[in-house]
Structure 1
Amino acid sequence: MEAERADRVGYCLQGLRNALPEKLHSHLTAVIDQLQITSQLLRDLADKSQVHLSQVPVMIDYLNVILPCLCRTLRDIMDYYEDKFLSKEHRWRTMYHNMSNELPGTTLPARFVMYNQFLGLLNYMLTRDPNFDVNAMEALRIRILQLRDARKIDPPSPIRTDLVRRDTALDFWKQETDSHWAEAIFTQPLPSRREFRKRGKSDAFGPLDRMGHVNPFPDDVKILVKRTFENDRVSIIVFLRQADLMPFILVRTRTAIGQPWVSIHSINDLTIERESSSVLHLTYWNQIERRRKAWASLSFLTWEELVLFYCTFVCLKARSEWAHSPDRHGFRLRREKRLFQAQIIDDDFDHCLIVVQDFHTKGRRLHVTAREGPLAHCPVWTAFVPPDTPEDWLIHKAPHHILLRDLQVYSFCDEYRPHRQRRGRTGAFQIKFAHATAAARFKQLFNPIPDPSVEDASEDHEDDDDFTPSDD
């Protein structure tokens, strides 16, 4: 509810800003920007609480500290905004100065910064993030209580520290956690952004439950990925049940009036397929109807994000110890064309390097897979080729070795160590080909200069021809 209220207040303030002279925009813009962050943090708390239900009693005490104060602030802003007896400029000036004086040393924009810092720490507390700072949380709590007192808001109930101490770790915010490769996938800035011209629609098809009515999960849950779609109308959380390393996905959607509904499935029960240029379609097997049914559709803004989510999904599924024999065709992303394929020696592993091009955006990427074993054809890493590759992007250093400058590698397993392929002060990425002719062909793909050498293609396709991405 408060997230929706923050959105409405922010929308009204945008209209007010449009009616004011530009010299008054800076502080008003700061408030609008912080309101957007407030709304997102509140929704993050609601979504993540469905996974970390055991932490909710701890979180409620802290929410009781901030929510009444935040609610009063939003209502006060609307009271000033709707005062028809004042001009729009006078409304803003009165709002800003009066509310900035309620807590000495805290302007109106700074008040929302304080709220957002508190909500951010509350997110850390909920997920047992090692970045949680109990001292910072206490300092902010005291500051908010001072504001509550200034606004004559009744004090909240005392924080029940015994609830925190009952956790498996005495001071869970200080414990170190093992990182997982999937946590890093969407934290790196994209090296390029190829947006789709036509975008589909994101949706969740269920069966859905009201938020708060899903079965609770154990305490040992690690959130790996959280993505939102269509202005947070749909969101997904990928998380790991650490007791057995089982990966799950939670999808949350909102009705037209803002009510949240959720559904949770094991990744092993789902299949993923590229439905159109920008949409990934997730389905599950319905035991009663004995057929696959739609579970969710996720529409991505960029080709890069779609690729990363697809590879993350199929790798989590393939690497789960609960997974059956992985379907090698399930590793293929549709609507991509293979331009090149060769065997490489990569971090002492025998891998297959494929260069593919997207049919819709014409973007190209390097796609490396395992060649042998139970995970044959499973993605190991991918990297996006810059839209306009400079002449010095590729260096043919030796017959078997190619260096690529400024290559950002997204790794889909913990065993692979891309830093071992970096060379020189610039950190150029080295690709070692099993055959020199393959290295020459790779260079010609990006620098099409006639090469007098005779190409021996016999080593490049071997048993991997059936991996060719579909041309639909």
Structure 2
Amino acid sequence: MESIGPANVPVESHLLLDCCREADQADIVARGLDQLRAALSESFHGHLIALAGEIRDSSRLLRSLADCSQVYITRVPFMTNYLSILLPCLSRTLKDIVTYYEEKTLTREIRWRKMYNKMTEEAGGLPLPQRFVLFNHFLSLLKQLLTRSPNFDLNTLEALRTRVAALREQLGIPPMPQAGTLVRQNPMPLVVVQERNSHWAEQIFSLPLPSRTALKHLRSSKSYGPFYPWGHLAIPHDSTVLFKRPFENDTISVVAFLSSVDQCPYFLMRTLQNSAPWYSMFGAHELCIEREGSALQLKRWSRSEQCSKLWAALYFITWEEMVLFYCTFVALKARSLLTVQIHPNEFQLRREKRLFQAQIIDDGFRHSLIVYEDLQTRGLRLHAAVWEGELRQCPVWTAFVTHQSQSPTWLSRRSRHRVWLKDIQLYVFCNTYRQENMRQNKLGAFEIHFDREEAARRFKELFSIRSAASETSENEQEASSAA
């Protein structure tokens, strides 16, 4: 792999550091607006909530650009000219907001009215929250440009660039010299997106959660490195970001990407020190994962000390998010061509109780179907894994059992071996699995085909018993309340 240092891209490095600094400032401003809102009557809350929300989105997008730039480092020059147009305008706007809400000689209501009206007027009538909508649309397009998204639209980017440049002029910010390569000067490599099949990991965290079960005893997520400055890591050109997960209000983030050289998954962790980003990277095959309470711990092997060391402790707000990250990591590691061996314990998420297990015929494959109950939250999930072979126990899909299971029509036994489930969402950890093949019925229900008749019966009984127990508990609670 070719190593790329910051000396090769000094302008880009400065701009991406500025992204992180402005993201920090945006978080501070959003918190200041929240405090201002708390002191004002409810009639002002709508605009303040909208403005703070857009500013937080700006912070998230700025950090996302800096994180993804590590993977797409050769494409950074194509967006630096656009960043050099936007960042001074964004920075000036944030500073002006602070100046207005810190003007102690005025009442808080007058501070807000003056801020909103004056900043709307100076922008030619563009309302203050909509100014950040403009910034965020611009930043979103820059991310699409950076990552070669098929949704990228050059015409829209150019139109927004013109609007931001006009806003700069209205604010009295002098024009900037060109800092990078304009897209229109070399459009073909940027606009043409190669056809490729989407990797399953790109979809996992974009699907909505059917339920959100809160975890307890949360602490601060921590990252332990070793860390390096921006541009010092050897990341192959044209690698593909699979997903990004933020922690601690995005002060820590984990980016998973597929290397263009060996087609294997890697994890890039970013932390912030004095607003500057620092990065650490290991392949999935170099890390081990285990649950500790409400956290997932990722460990690496230290060659110098010849022992296992903690790389990150990631705390999750919900049980569902923890499960998805765990299954995604294990599936990526198990399927990586660089993984020599994976310990059987890594296939088992700690503090889960196995309530049921059987063999199923699933989209033409033999899989294990397991019903797990989380001991901390009492959450239930279905888990399908590879039945045999080199990938034995590797996750194929999981599905969370929600309140829908209390409905008498949620589960129905259609034959001796077949059970239908309505209203269930699968998260699939495999490119070859097609769940639509198991939904070819008039209801669109998900079909489970058990290898043995007795397993189908036990599966239905498990949920019938739990549903009856839940109903009895609710009736007892109602009777107790009435008494």
Question: Would the TM-score normalized by the shorter structure come out above 0.5?
Answer: yes
**Paired letter, 2:226:** P
Letter in 1 for 2:343: D
Letter in 2 for 1:24: F
Query: How far apart, CA to CA, are the structure 1 residues paired with 2:322 and 2:382?
Result: 15
C-alpha displacement at 1:48, in angstroms?
Answer: 1.4
- Residue 460 of structure 1 corresponds to which residue in structure 2? none
Identity %: 47
Quote the Cα distance in structure 2 between the aligned partners of 1:267 and 1:164. Answer: 38
How much has 1:46 moved relative to structure 2? Answer: 1.5
In 1, Cα distance between equivalents of 2:192 and 2:109: 46
Question: For residue 447 of structure 2, what is the aligned residue in structure 1?
Answer: 430
1 CA distance for matches of 2:48 and 2:305? Answer: 55
Letter in 1 for 2:300: Y
- Is the CA contact (8 Å cut-off) linking 1:133 and 1:173 kept in structure 2? no
Q: Which amino acid aligns with 2:379?
A: G
- Deviation digits for residues 380-403 of structure 1 (CA, Å, limit 9, x no counterpart): 111111145322111011000000
Are 2:97 and 1:77 aligned?
Answer: yes
Alignment CA distance shift 1:23-1:160 (3 Å):
same
**2:41 aligned residue (6, 16, 21):** 21
2:336 aligned partner: 320
| Pairwise CA distance, 1:242 | 2.7
The answer to whether the aligner puts 1:182 opposite 2:182 as a matched pair is no
* Contact preservation (8 Å) 1:125, 1:173: no
Aligned to 2:60: 40
How much has 1:166 moved relative to structure 2?
6.6
Q: Distance in 2 between matches of 1:272 and 1:165?
A: 46
Structure-2 residue corresponding to 1:86: 106
* Aligned partner letter, 1:413: C
Aligned to 1:223: 241
Alpha-carbon contact 1:236-1:251 (below 8 Å) kept:
yes
CA displacement at 1:83 relative to structure 2: 2.5
| Aligned with 1:30 (options 45, 50, 63) | 50
CA contact (8 A) 1:53 1:216 kept: no
- Paired with 1:447 and 1:2, the residues of 2 have a C-alpha distance of 54
Relative to structure 1, the CA distance from residue 440 to residue 165 in structure 2 (aligned partners, 3 Å threshold; closer, same or farther) is farther
1:336 to 335, 352, 360: 352
Asked if 2 retains the 8 angstrom alpha-carbon contact of 1:51 and 1:217, the reply is: yes
Which of 448, 459, 464 matches 2:465?
448
Match of 1:304 in 2: 320
Q: What is the alpha-carbon distance in structure 1 between the residues aligned to residue 268 and residue 192 of structure 2?
A: 24
1:247 — aligned with what?
265
Q: Kindly indicate whether the alpha-carbon contact (under 8 Å) linking 1:402 and 1:439 is maintained by their aligned counterparts in 2.
A: yes
Shift of 1:409: 0.8
Matched ranges for 1:43-122 at <5 A: 43-122=63-142
How many pairs are equivalent? 445
Q: Distance in 2 between matches of 1:362 and 1:313?
A: 23
**Structure 2 SS opposite 1:101:** helix
Give the partner amino acid of 2:434: R
Deviation at 1:174, TM superposition (A): 4.2
TM-score by length of 1: 0.90
**Distance in structure 2 (CA, Å) of the matches to 1:319 and 1:53:** 26
SS of residue matched to 1:84: coil
The answer to whether the aligner puts 1:147 opposite 2:167 as a matched pair is yes
Following the alignment from structure 2 to structure 1, what is the Cα–Cα distance between the partners of residues 383 and 253? 27
Amino acid of the structure 2 residue aligned with 1:33: G
Matches of 2:382 and 2:218, distance apart in 1: 24
CA contact (8 A) 2:122 2:170 kept: yes
Q: Secondary structure at the match of 2:106?
A: coil
Checking the alignment, whether the CA contact within 8 Å between 2:265 and 2:284 is kept in structure 1 is yes
Counterparts of 2:128 and 2:52 in 1: how far apart (Å)?
11
SS of the aligned residue for 1:322 comes to: coil
Output the CA distance in 1 between the equivalents of 2:130 and 2:220: 37
In the TM superposition, what is the alpha-carbon distance from 1:379 to its structure 2 partner?
1.1
Alignment CA distance shift 1:433-1:173 (3 Å): same
What is residue 407 of structure 2 aligned with on the other side?
390
Moved more, 352-361 or 47-56: 47-56
> Does residue 204 of the first structure (1) align with residue 186 of the second (2)?
no
C-alpha separation between the residues in 2 aligned to 1:102 and 1:427? 54
The equivalent residue for 1:214 is: 232
Amino acid at match of 1:303: W
Aligned in 2, Cα 1:87/1:351: closer, same or farther, shift over 3 Å?
same
In structure 2, what is the equivalent of residue 457 of structure 1? none
Q: Structure 1 residue 201: deviation in Å? A: 3.2
**In 1, are the aligned partners of 2:123 and 2:171 still within 8 Å (CA)?**
no
Inter-partner Cα distance in structure 2 for 1:146 and 1:175: 34
1:412 to 2:447 alignment? no
Equivalent residue number for residue 293 of structure 1: 309
Match of 2:303, as an amino acid?
A: Q
Q: Distance in 1 between matches of 2:255 and 2:45?
A: 36
Q: 1:379: which partner in 2? A: 395
Pick closer, same or farther for the CA change 1:79–1:448 going to 2, 3 Å.
closer
Q: Distance in 2 between matches of 1:445 and 1:394?
A: 11
Q: Deviations over 1:398-456 (max 9, x none)?
A: 0000000111111110001011101434311000011111100111000139xxxxxxx
Distance 1:435 1:127 in 2: 47
Among 197, 213, 232, the residue aligned to 2:250: 232
Aligned-pair CA distance for 1:28: 2.2
- Report the alpha carbon displacement of residue 20 of structure 1 after superposing the two structures with TM: 1.9
Structure 1: state its 5+ residue gaps.
450-472
TM-score, with normalisation over the residues of structure 2?
0.88
C-alpha distance in structure 2 between counterparts of 1:162 and 1:100, whole Å: 30
1:279–1:299 CA contact under 8 A, matched in 2: yes
Could you tell me how far 1:213 is from its partner in structure 2? 4.2
Higher mean C-alpha displacement, 428-437 vs 284-293: 284-293
Can you list the C-alpha shifts for 1:331-378, whole angstroms capped at 9, x where unaligned? 121211111111111111111111111111111111111112211111
Please point out which of 397, 402, 405 is paired with 2:419.
402
Name the CA distance, whole Å, in 2 between partners of 1:123 and 1:346. 38
Q: Structure 1, residues 160-219: CA drift from partner, whole Å, max 9, x if none?
A: 54678679x623464444210001111111111111122243111111123x14224222
User: Which amino acid is 1:317 matched to?
Assistant: K
Q: Distance in 2 between matches of 1:24 and 1:192?
A: 32
Tell me how far apart the structure 1 counterparts of residues 294 and 67 of structure 2 sit (CA, whole Å): 24
Deviation string, structure 1 residues 299-341 (Cα, Å, up to 9, x no partner): 1111111111111111111111222244333212121111111
Structure 1, residues 218-270: CA drift from partner, whole Å, max 9, x if none? 22211112111122222100111133211100111224x43432201111111
Q: Which amino acid aligns with 1:433?
A: F
